């Protein structure tokens, strides 16, 4: 099936007991057994739930992988991947990534003896230099949050594999509609399904997709043993969201393109970060590995004072001031004090994330309303 058909049909099967076309919300904790151990493949809902299974099948198909696993949040999915490691193991990861991932790495997993090496993932020589005999995992986020940097997934996968490491890509910003890292050599794809997959800002959920059966078994063991599973209602909401992923993403991309160009032409704006610009440092790689460039944009005003940025952030009416992204409605955010506040200021600024940076999640409203809203805010 082609991607647009897949969004609608992936994981959807008429319910065997009634023929219901939509997967029912199996709101149950356990399943009655005919005799001890004799059951229909469902024992206890932390291990198996039919609504979750339908979603996990959809996750696998959307990422062109064999297996999908659903988690209670994006960070729970990330946490599950890190539980593959043992004390002393090393992780090579980007120095410009989602603040919550950074917090999980530094504040939780470092305490258990995992070591993290942060590198500039735009440059493969930096990645190569950070690899050691102890490297077990390479963590890639592309495009990055919030600077929209692009990493060459195929190149990183081959470096990682040469050193025997598992290569993971956080594909949240692109969504499976725009980029499929497993087809470029990654071993695991991670998503915050809270964002584009759910798409309506009404659910928190995470996902992992992979091809290797052994890796799937190890991660399934962690999923059921550590227990960060999503409830069936949340699985239903994401299944429902996925049915319009393709039309939403097409509009996110179209609106994102218009807003990015409008910002770039605005004399009060100094810099716009969006991988669709021909002069974006890794535009060619973005073009090769992504179908389109998405609706995430960040920018800096010509006036470098934080107050100028804060004024814009509090002046929009259509763009809502909020964390998160990927919903149908447009959001505006101040990474330095909101999504990325857990990164120490010097380190944040060293990595190019200044106090004046503004991030937009461009929604699927009428783009003229979005541009007029920004025009009256950036004055
Ligand atoms: C939101 C986000 C996460 C974390 O996901 P949650 O669902 O909030 O736990 C991870 N990575 C990226 C890129 C995100 O935007």
CA of 146 to the centre of ligand 1 (A): 12
pLDDT band, very low/low/confident/very high, at 347 (cuts 50, 70, 90): confident
pLDDT at 185 over 90: yes
Structural domains of the chain, count: 2
Q: Do 208 and 269 fall within a single domain?
A: no
Q: Do 175 and 283 fall within a single domain?
A: no
- Residue nearest (by alpha carbon) to ligand 1 atom 8: 74
Q: How many helices (H) and strands (E) would you count in the chain?
A: 14, 12
- Residue nearest (by alpha carbon) to ligand 1 atom 1: 192
- The residue with tokens 């409830």 is 231
Residue 210: beta bridge partners? Answer: 67, 188
Mean pLDDT of 210-226: 98
Q: Do 201 and 321 fall within a single domain?
A: no
Atom of ligand 1 nearest to the CA of 97: 13
Taking CB atoms and a 6 Å cutoff, what residues make up the pocket around ligand 1?
73-75, 98, 100-101, 141, 145, 170, 172-173, 192, 194-195, 204, 206
CB atoms within 10 A of CB 323: 15
Mean pLDDT of 177-182: 98
- CATH code: domain of residue 26: 3.40.640.10
What's the pLDDT score for residue 113? 97
For residue range 68-96, list pLDDT tens digits in order.
Answer: 999 999 999 999 999 999 999 999 999 98
Distance from C-alpha of 176 to C-alpha of 197, rounded to nearest angstrom: 8
Atom of ligand 1 nearest to the CA of 193: 7
CA of 185 to the centre of ligand 1 (A): 22
- Residue nearest (by alpha carbon) to ligand 1 atom 6: 74
Q: Do 238 and 259 fall within a single domain?
A: no
What's the pLDDT score for residue 169? 98
Peptide bond before 146: cis, by omega within 30 degrees of 0?
yes
pLDDT at 195 over 90: yes
Could you say which of 226, 242, 258 is where a domain stops?
242
Q: Do 43 and 14 fall within a single domain?
A: yes
Mean pLDDT of 264-279: 97
For residue range 295-306, list pLDDT tens digits in order.
Answer: 999 999 999 889
| Mean pLDDT, the chain, integer | 96
CA of 56 to the centre of ligand 1 (A): 18
Q: Do 11 and 85 fall within a single domain?
A: yes
Mean pLDDT of 206-213: 98
pLDDT at 340 over 90: no
Instruction: Tell me if 373 sits within 8 A of 258, measured CB to CB.
Output: no
- Known catalytic residues are 46, 98, 170, 195
Instruction: Give the 3-state secondary structure of residue 121.
Output: coil
Q: Choose between 350 and 185: higher pLDDT.
A: 185
Name the E strands within the chain.
67-71, 90-94, 115-119, 135-141, 166-170, 188-192, 206-210, 269-273, 296-301, 320-321, 331-333, 358-361
CB atoms within 10 A of CB 305: 11
Burial of 155 (0-12, 13-18, 19+ CB in 10 A): middle
Could you say which of 207, 224, 242 is where a domain stops?
242
Distance from C-alpha of 50 to C-alpha of 26, rounded to nearest angstrom: 7
- Residue nearest (by alpha carbon) to ligand 1 atom 9: 74
Task: State the first-to-last Cα distance of the chain, in angstroms, to the nearest integer.
Answer: 48
**What residues make up the domain containing 97?**
3-242
Q: Do 216 and 300 fall within a single domain?
A: no
Distance from C-alpha of 183 to C-alpha of 370, rounded to nearest angstrom: 35
Q: Do 75 and 164 fall within a single domain?
A: yes
> Among 72, 73, 74, which is best to mutate for testing ligand 1, by the most ligand atoms less than 8 A from CB?
74
> Among 104, 145, 198, which is best to mutate for testing ligand 1, by the most ligand atoms less than 8 A from CB?
145
Instruction: Tell me if 31 sits within 8 A of 43, measured CB to CB.
Output: yes
pLDDT at 339 over 90: no
Q: Do 86 and 225 fall within a single domain?
A: yes
Q: Do 255 and 235 fall within a single domain?
A: no
What's the pLDDT score for residue 145? 87
For residue range 221-235, list pLDDT tens digits in order.
Answer: 999 999 999 999 999
- Residue nearest (by alpha carbon) to ligand 1 atom 2: 192
CA of 59 to the centre of ligand 1 (A): 16
For residue range 104-149, list pLDDT tens digits in order.
Answer: 999 999 999 999 999 999 989 999 999 999 999 999 999 998 899 9
Distance from C-alpha of 111 to C-alpha of 95, rounded to nearest angstrom: 19
CA distances 260 to 109, 129, 147, 223, 269, Å, are 37, 35, 13, 39, 11
Could you say which of 208, 242, 276 is where a domain stops?
242
Q: Do 273 and 330 fall within a single domain?
A: yes
- CATH code: domain of residue 348: 3.90.1150.10
Q: Do 297 and 238 fall within a single domain?
A: no
């Amino acid at each position: 099936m082609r991607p647009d058909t897949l969004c609608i049909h992936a994981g959807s099967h008429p319910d065997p007991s009634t023929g219901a076309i939509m997967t029912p919300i199996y709101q149950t904790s356990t399943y009655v057994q005919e005799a001890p151990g004799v059951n229909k493949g469902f024992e206890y809902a932390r291990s198996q739930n039919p609504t979750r299974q339908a979603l996990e099948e959809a996750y696998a198909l959307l990422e062109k992988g064999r297996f999908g696993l659903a988690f209670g949040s994006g960070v729970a999915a990330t946490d599950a991947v890190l539980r593959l490691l043992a004390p002393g193991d090393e992780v090579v990861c980007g120095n410009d990534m989602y603040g919550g991932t950074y917090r999980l790495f530094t504040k939780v997993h470092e305490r258990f003896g995992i070591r993290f090496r942060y590198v500039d993932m735009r440059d493969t020589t930096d990645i190569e230099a950070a690899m050691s005999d102890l490297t077990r995992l390479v963590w890639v986020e592309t495009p990055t949050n919030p600077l929209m940097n692009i990493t060459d997934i195929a190149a990183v996968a081959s470096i990682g594999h040469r050193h025997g490491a598992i290569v993971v890509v956080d594909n949240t910003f692109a969504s499976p509609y725009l980029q499929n890292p497993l087809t470029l050599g990654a071993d695991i794809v991670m998503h915050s399904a809270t964002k584009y997959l759910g798409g309506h800002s009404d659910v928190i959920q995470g996902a992992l997709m992979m091809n290797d059966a052994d890796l799937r078994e190890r991660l399934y063991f962690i999923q059921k043993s550590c227990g960060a599973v999503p409830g069936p209602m949340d699985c239903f909401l994401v299944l429902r969201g996925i049915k319009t992923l393709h039309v939403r993403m097409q509009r996110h991309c179209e609106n994102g393109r218009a807003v990015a160009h409008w910002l770039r032409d605005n004399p009060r704006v100094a810099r716009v970060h969006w991988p669709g610009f021909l002069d974006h440092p890794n535009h060619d790689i973005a073009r090769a590995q992504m179908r389109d460039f998405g609706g995430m944009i960040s920018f800096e005003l010509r006036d470098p004072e934080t107050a100028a940025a804060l004024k814009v952030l509090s002046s929009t009416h259509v763009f809502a001031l909020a964390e998160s992204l990927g919903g149908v409605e447009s959001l505006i955010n101040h990474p330095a004090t909101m999504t990325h506040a857990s990164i120490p200021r010097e380190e944040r600024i060293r990595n190019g994330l200044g106090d004046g940076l503004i991030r937009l999640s461009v929604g699927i409203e009428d783009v003229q309303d979005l541009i007029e809203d920004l025009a009256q805010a950036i004055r």
